[in-house]
Amino acid sequence: MNFESAVQTYLGEIDFDPARLKEKYLAERDKRIRDEGIDQYIEVTADFSHYEDDPYTPRAERDPLFDHVDVVVIGGGFGGLLTGARLAEAGYTKIRLIDKAGDFGGTWYWNRYPGAMCDVESYCYLPLLEELNYVPKHKYSFAPEILEHSRNIARKFNLYEHACLQTAVTGMQWDDDAARWIITTDRRDEMTADFVVMSNGPLSRPKLPGIPGINEFKGHTFHTSRWDYNYTGGDSYGNLHKLKDKRVGIVGTGATAVQCIPHLGEWAAELYVFQRTPSSIDTRNNHETDPGWAASLQPGWQQERMDNFNIMTNGGDADVDMVHDGWTDIYRNLTGTAAKQASRTLGRRLTDTEREELIELSDYRKMNSIRRRVDQIVSDPATAQALKPWYRQFCKRPCFHDEYLQTYNRPNVQLVDTHGKGVERLTEHGVVVDDQEYEVDCLIFATGFEVGTSYTRRSGYDITGRDGVTLSEYWADEMRTFQGVMSRGFPNCFFLGFTQTAITVNVPHALNEQAKHAAHIVAETRLRQKQRVEPTAQAEADYVNEIHRLARTNEQFYIECTPGYYNSEGREGNKEGFFSGMHGAGPIKFYNQLRAWRAAGTLEGLELY
């Protein structure tokens, strides 16, 4: 059998013209490329800093702290909570989580917009389910349940006791004589800790579009991650009754907008959706948890399910697809797994070109079905046409929703397509697109979060290591870590998040692996009665080389993609893209590598003193 026949066996008849589709994709991309790249966005400081204010918890005053704890963990989201839990399991009791937010939950503290829910299956996504003896109520949990689960993790592992909430770290300095970190905050604290863990979150700083006139608009505005329920009424489940007589505009149609637009459409007198690039919307199929299934779960079930999902979404082989949803479907068909099946049919390995061709064809076929779905659901043909995504599936975050497209059939909802240009400007009363002004009472920014700016700008503080060198200086050219968790010159300091590690669709899975690793090193350092731990210069250099050697930049793929935060807004080279600098072995191998390293017990590559 030749390659063409193998492709046909796998994909069926190719009833489209790949060359024409590619041309269309590139033309749509070119429309959107802007010279400013990431600089098109406004940092939420100075005049815009109120966009970051906490609308959920009134500020409580407290006296500054000058005490000492074992470990300070910065960030009260899943990364911080998992680290706290793993340290508590290792016997630590003086663990202090610090967060700007008024409670735990991280992204789930901030993102309470109506309709917010996790879009990775909750049985895999919510951390520590077995430890808390909890099974989520739905296949995809709604935000309030996830926030409550975060609080329950904190209660279970006693993390409220030393927590500093509503507190922003302003700096950290290593005191080598005392072998401790000095941590300063905006509450005038000057506390110390033997170890620090930075779990700042990859998408934590809201960003705003740099639209002319953004300060002129006199109506009400807010960012989706600071939803103003005083203004809209209702809660995360909907019922936005105060919008009944309001004209509402929303800028952005990414994963967040897709979830909240159905609620805005249901309640606003008029809703204008200002779109630059449509998202790809596949079916969701959420449902309540079957109590019989929940009762049948055996110990170890969550790790097994997470591992299975990780395998299914990273081209591995497994007999069953336990999660069996939109994610596993696209990964099965649009990544290496497709190539594996075709090569089995063919009886030989595919060449790189054949592999790429097959995956590209699969992608076109998938996106054709996404575009057909729009036609099937949206009644107005012009609106349907504008809602069709013309790019490859993984150029942007794939979305899954069963009410989003339907919202455009409501008479009070109007899609204002900007043909890739974006909103032109704001006036006192509304939004201008193509010289037409749309008057609104309220404008909601669903414009996402900072990506591609420096790690320290996003975290809001810098840290000073052993020789007076700051992390922003040390990482000025690129991140330099050992195993993605530590850097030379910054003893007893750990990083969690997208720091030269392997990342997977189920981000809490990755955070759990990192948390276990950091907690292991902390515990081993104490067990060996040492005060300091850091990677050797050689081990760090070797690891950075490994990152370079195995780098899967997918450069051509991202260059051809429509701009967004995955590809540094379309900048050539994608050096600062969301997934740049990740470990190319992929999460299955990488996590096994970390496990094997821990099991060896030699702490190879680390210096303890």
Helices 78-89/143-156 angle, 10° precision = 30
Question: Where are the extended beta strands (E) located within 339-480?
Answer: 399-400, 413-417, 425-426, 430-433, 436-439, 442-445, 462-464
Cα distance between residue 303 and residue 194, in whole Å: 31
Query: What is the per-residue binding string for ligand NDP in 401-420, x denoting contact by CB under 6 A?
Result: -----------------x--
In angstroms, the Cα distances linking 444 to 116, 248, 261 are 15, 8, 11
Q: Which among 185, 207, 197, 227 has a CA at the least distance from the CA of 100?
A: 185
Of residues 209 and 262, the one with the C-beta less far from ligand NDP: 209
Any contact of residue 79 with ligand NDP (CB under 6 A)? no
Site for ligand NDP in 182-221 (CB under 6 A): 203, 209, 211
C-beta of 421: minimal distance to ligand NDP in Å? Answer: 8
Region from 1-9, 246-254, 353-361, 487-495 binding ligand NDP, contact rule CB under 6 A: 246-254
Any contact of residue 432 with ligand NDP (CB under 6 A)? no
Residues in the chain: 609
CB atoms within 10 A of CB 588: 17
Region from 117-125, 158-166, 226-234, 294-302 binding ligand NDP, contact rule CB under 6 A: 117-125
C-beta of 246: minimal distance to ligand NDP in Å? Answer: 20
In angstroms, the Cα distances linking 487 to 54, 233, 504, 549 are 33, 47, 22, 19
Helices 507-527/301-312 angle, 10° precision = 120
C-beta of 207: minimal distance to ligand NDP in Å? Answer: 8
Question: Where are the extended beta strands (E) located within 245-308?
Answer: 247-251, 270-275, 281-282
Q: Which among 502, 497, 528 has a CA at the least distance from the CA of 515?
A: 497
C-beta of 225: minimal distance to ligand NDP in Å? Answer: 7
The position carrying tokens 């109590």 is 291
User: How is residue 190 written in tokens?
Assistant: 């000057």
DSSP, res 280: P
Bridge partners of residue 223, in order along the sequence = 445
DSSP, res 470: B
Backbone torsions φ then ψ of 97, nearest 5 degrees = -90, 130
Any contact of residue 257 with ligand NDP (CB under 6 A)? yes
User: How is residue 344 written in tokens?
Assistant: 């089995």
Query: What is the per-residue binding string for ligand NDP in 135-174, x denoting contact by CB under 6 A?
Result: ----------------------------------------
Of residues 366 and 401, the one with the C-beta less far from ligand NDP: 401
Region from 12-20, 46-54, 113-121, 239-247 binding ligand NDP, contact rule CB under 6 A: 113-121
Any contact of residue 119 with ligand NDP (CB under 6 A)? yes
The answer to whether 502 and 579 are in contact (CB under 8 A) is: no
C-beta of 119: minimal distance to ligand NDP in Å? Answer: 4
Of residues 448 and 465, the one with the C-beta less far from ligand NDP: 448
The answer to whether 86 and 157 are in contact (CB under 8 A) is: no
User: How is residue 15 written in tokens?
Assistant: 């009833």
Any contact of residue 422 with ligand NDP (CB under 6 A)? yes
Of residues 65 and 306, the one with the C-beta less far from ligand NDP: 306
C-beta of 563: minimal distance to ligand NDP in Å? Answer: 6
Cα distance between residue 23 and residue 25, in whole Å: 5
C-beta of 587: minimal distance to ligand NDP in Å? Answer: 17
Amino acid at 169: V
At 373, which helix (H) or strand (E)?
A: helix 352-377
Amino acid at 172: M
C-beta of 107: minimal distance to ligand NDP in Å? Answer: 8
Count of chain residues binding ligand NDP (CB under 6 A) = 28
Backbone torsions φ then ψ of 264, nearest 5 degrees = -65, -40
Backbone torsions φ then ψ of 492, nearest 5 degrees = 55, 25
Any contact of residue 251 with ligand NDP (CB under 6 A)? yes
| Contacting residue, 150, 167, 253, 481, with ligand NDP by CB under 6 A | 253
Query: What is the per-residue binding string for ligand NDP in 443-482, x denoting contact by CB under 6 A?
Result: ---xxxx---------------------------------
Any contact of residue 313 with ligand NDP (CB under 6 A)? no
Query: What is the per-residue binding string for ligand NDP in 259-288, x denoting contact by CB under 6 A?
Result: x--------------x-xx-----------
Cα distance between residue 475 and residue 496, in whole Å: 16
The answer to whether 445 and 219 are in contact (CB under 8 A) is: no
| Contacting residue, 423, 479, 505, 521, with ligand NDP by CB under 6 A | 423
C-beta of 242: minimal distance to ligand NDP in Å? Answer: 23
Of residues 389 and 465, the one with the C-beta less far from ligand NDP: 389
| Contacting residue, 397, 517, 571, 583, with ligand NDP by CB under 6 A | 397
Cα distance between residue 312 and residue 320, in whole Å: 9
Region from 130-138, 247-255, 262-270, 498-506 binding ligand NDP, contact rule CB under 6 A: 247-255
Any contact of residue 118 with ligand NDP (CB under 6 A)? yes
C-beta of 602: minimal distance to ligand NDP in Å? Answer: 37
Quickly count helices (H) and strands (E) in the chain. Answer: 20, 21
Of residues 219 and 448, the one with the C-beta less far from ligand NDP: 448
User: How is residue 223 written in tokens?
Assistant: 């960012």
Any contact of residue 226 with ligand NDP (CB under 6 A)? no
Region from 172-180, 251-259, 369-377, 535-543 binding ligand NDP, contact rule CB under 6 A: 251-259
Q: Provide the binding-site residues for ligand NDP, judged by CB under 6 A.
A: 32, 117-119, 203, 209, 211, 251-257, 259, 274, 276-277, 397, 418, 422-423, 446-449, 564-565
